[in-house]
Homo-oligomer: A and B are copies of this chain.
Amino acid sequence: MSKRAANNNLKKRAMTAAPDSPPTLEMVAKEAGVSIATVSRIINGTAKVSPERKDAVEAAIAKLNFRPNAAARGLALGKSNTIGVITQAIDSPFYGEGLRGIEDYLQQRGYTALFMSGNWDEQDEERCMSELLSRRVDGIIIFSGRLQDRQLAQYAKQVPLVVTARNLKAPGIFSLPVDDERGGMLATQHLIGLGHRRIAFIAGILDHPDASLRYKGYRRALAEAGIPHDPKLVVPGDFHEEGGVEATRRLLASGHKFTALFCVNDQSAYGACLALYRAGLNCPRDVSVVGFDDLHSSSYRVPPLTTVRQSIRVLGESSGAAMLQLLQGEQPNISLPQVQLVVRESTAAPQPD
Contacts and interface: CB of A to CB of B under 8 A. Distances in A.
Contact of A91 (B89, B97, B160): B97
B112 A67 contact: no
Given A78-B9, A300-B274, A329-B12, A17 B172 contact: yes
Contact of A99 (B22, B91, B158): B91
Contacts of A159: 18-19
A41 interface: no
Interface residues of A, number: 79
Contacts of A115: 90, 103, 113, 115
A240 to B, nearest CB: 9
Given A93-B96, A274-B304, A297-B297, A79 B136 contact: no
Most buried by B among A21, A130, A158, A302: A302
Nearest to A135: B70
A232 interface: no
B68 A71 contact: no
A14 B91 CA distance: 39
Contacts of A15: 329-330
A99 B326 CA distance: 29
Contacts of A97: 91
A103 B74 contact: no
Nearest to A159: B19
Contact of A329 (B16, B22, B113): B16
Contacts of A103: 90, 115-117
A302 B273 contact: yes
Interface string A1-39: 100110011011011111101100000000000000000
Contact of A22 (B4, B68, B136, B273): B136
Number of copies: 2
A67 B133 CA distance: 7
A196 to B, nearest CB: 21
Given A78-B5, A159-B19, A300-B241, A70 B271 contact: no
A116 B90 CA distance: 13
Given A103-B90, A326-B16, A79 B8 contact: yes
Contacts of A60: none
A302 B329 contact: no
Contact of A18 (B76, B160, B302): B160
A277 interface: yes
7 contacts: A5-B78, A8-B79, A21-B78, A71-B72, A90-B103, A112-B135, A274-B304
Interface of A: 1, 4-5, 8-9, 11-12, 14-19, 21-22, 65, 67-72, 74-80, 89-93, 96-97, 99-100, 103, 112-117, 130-131, 133-136, 156-160, 171-172, 241, 245, 267, 270-271, 273-274, 277, 283, 296-297, 300-304, 313, 326-327, 329-330
Given A22-B136, A71-B74, 18 more contacts: A4-B77, A8-B79, A11-B329, A15-B329, A17-B156, A17-B157, A17-B172, A19-B172, A21-B78, A70-B134, A70-B136, A89-B100, A90-B103, A96-B96, A241-B296, A245-B300, A270-B300, A274-B301
